[in-house]
Amino acid sequence: MNQRTVVALSGGVGGAKLALGLTRILPPDDLLVVANTGDDFEHLGLTICPDTDTLTYVLAGLDNTEQGWGRRDETWSFMDTIGTLGGADWFRLGDRDLALHVERTRRLRAGESLSQVTHDITRRLGIGPRILPMSDDPVRTRVRCDEGWIDFQEYFVHRQCRPVVRELAFEGAGVARPQPEVMAALAPGRARAVVICPSNPFISIEPILAVPGLRAAIAASGAPVVAVSPIVGGRAVKGPTAKMMEELGLAVSAASAAGRYGDLLDGYIVDEADGAGISVATRAAPTLMKTVEDKEALARTVLDFADSLA
Ligand code: FO1
């Protein structure tokens, strides 16, 4: 029987953790991780792809675990120096991380697609499973706050998520073409499961679902769609998820996170404390991932649950 692929949608730290767990229980060819590219931006003349790079470093075992992004064993000579030259030093690019941005930017400018560059870099770093962007066309998350529309990283890093979020937009999503290999993995009968990782629904998952054709392909894939709640005990594990929910007038709960995915979900993994008010099938499990064993255990729970829903 042809191997059936697990397709995981991921953004941010939580997504990368569960993706790591999935790599520990699946053969490399059976996992395809779709990276959100809405956080990508042009900075210092470089094309920066944070969610792709976080996945890359975590799956390559190169990640800075305390920081949740970037590489460990970093040095900061470039950042220190660009600051003295009056350049932008608010978005911290370590010297080793910088090499990735410089080389990726060179190759994109030479006409390679983001998928080609990402595939080659992940292979060179010894990563078995596929990490692919949701689209090779640019999609950029924009945030409308009281001062107007700002870029995502300006909101998330430069202003440290302080602005009140009134609205989000995914610039370019309307005309972005879904990544072909992702669409092929979602062809009817080809996927074993679609896993929506415990990422921020608004900024990590919804941009992926906004790429024309992707949401419909997931729904038509015939595979069980299982999401892991990013809210634990009424709080977000990391990042601005809870703050955004409040600012967008939503309850800060696992249920309202699930509500963002609507009828796409077949199952929802919630932390023991959070099962109330959820219409789809739920399974309670520890969703806080501190150790690699936690990540593997949650990955196993997600796939067992998905298989039971198939
Ligand atoms: N996040 C920060 O809070 N501060 C930073 O200086 C920062 C730099 C950075 C550099 C490369 C990279 O791939 C990610 C980086 N991030 C930083 C995280 C990034 O903003 C987030 O990972 C995503 O955009 C949100 O999930």
Full domain range(s) for residue 154 = 5-309
CA of 242 to the centre of ligand 1 (A): 18
Average pLDDT of every residue of the chain: 96
Q: What is the pLDDT of residues 157-181, one digit of tens each?
A: 999 999 999 999 999 999 999 999 9
pLDDT at residue 3 tops 70 = no
Least confident of 101-105, 161-165, 184-188, 272-276: 272-276
State the pLDDT at residue 233. Answer: 84
Contact partners, residue 113, CB within 8 Å, separation at least 6: 136
Q: What is the pLDDT of residues 64-84, one digit of tens each?
A: 999 999 999 999 999 999 999
**Distance between CA atoms of 209 and 261, rounded to whole angstroms?**
9
Q: What is the pLDDT of residues 258-278, one digit of tens each?
A: 999 999 999 999 987 787 888
Count of structural domains, the chain? 1
Q: What is the pLDDT of residues 122-144, one digit of tens each?
A: 999 999 999 999 999 999 999 99
Q: At 174, which CATH number?
A: 3.40.50.10680
Q: pLDDT-based confidence at 16, cuts 50/70/90?
A: very high
Q: Which residues form the pocket of ligand 1, taking CB atoms under 6 Å from any ligand atom?
A: 11-12, 39, 50-51, 53-54, 69-70, 91-93, 97, 153, 156-157
Cα of 256 vs its chain's centroid, Å: 19
pLDDT at residue 1 tops 60 = no
